[in-house]
A = this chain, B = another copy of it.
Amino acid sequence: MTYCTGLLLDEGMVFASDSRTNAGLDNIATFCKMTVFERAGDRVIVLLSSGNLAGTQAVISVLRQRGDAEGASPNLWNARTLFDVTALVADAMRDIDRRDGLYLAESGGFNASFILGGQIRGEPMRLFRIYSEGNFIEAGLHTTPYFQTGEAKYGKSIIDRVITPSTTLADAAKCVLVSFDSTMRSNLSVGMPIDLICYRRDSLAIQMRRRFDEGDAYFTALSSQWSEGVRDVFSRLPELHW
């Protein structure tokens, strides 16, 4: 399984993904589920993958190859808007599905989905969620400013409690890490390392990227302070009288 989340805030965007991949319970591996396409000053595109690894890797390889190809065919680097980029990802997903879908029919078919976000010069920041069928939705800053994929429920309540459009990038990054901590405590199919990016609005470059490995000092401190703090709040809640 997987846990990925992307947030759209006034100050910028936050992206995070776990790294646990498994085909059955006895075949666990670590793969990065975060892919960045960046041309400083022009565009930052972050893609978070969930679903079957063969499918998500194939989609990303196709996107890379098409981006590297000579000529002016539409690709990630010449797309004018992030909407167009999202449609290119959907096209790649459907191409892979056409190639592999029939062979996967018995095991559930092509299943890959993405959170895609970032900014292209001349546009505001945008955040999309692409379903495995290739259709997609876009987040609204003042309606639902985040998307989650995978094991989303365990870590949803802290996001719902803390995040508003005016949350700072620093607080949002902490919130996302706490959300991962809660998820990993309750579900073994989500695991470290965690990849985290904070993107500052209009910077058109990735300036804050960090990987949190098992035992990371900051994450461990965050996790234990959070636990202690929560238990402390808990102990001060009013008593119930029967």
Contacts and interface: CB of A to CB of B under 8 A. Distances in A.
A180 to B, nearest CB: 11
B208 A242 contact: yes
A235 B186 CA distance: 24
Number of copies: 2
Query: What does DSSP make chain A's interface, helix, strand, loop or mixed?
Result: helix
Nearest to A207: B242
A153 B186 contact: yes
Interface stretch (A52-60, A77-85, A101-109, A167-175): A167-175
29 contacts: A151-B153, A153-B154, A154-B156, A156-B186, A157-B157, A157-B183, A157-B186, A161-B185, A161-B230, A162-B234, A170-B239, A170-B240, A171-B234, A171-B235, A173-B240, A174-B240, A175-B234, A177-B240, A178-B234, A207-B242, A208-B242, A209-B242, A221-B238, A222-B237, A225-B233, A225-B238, A229-B232, A230-B233, A232-B233
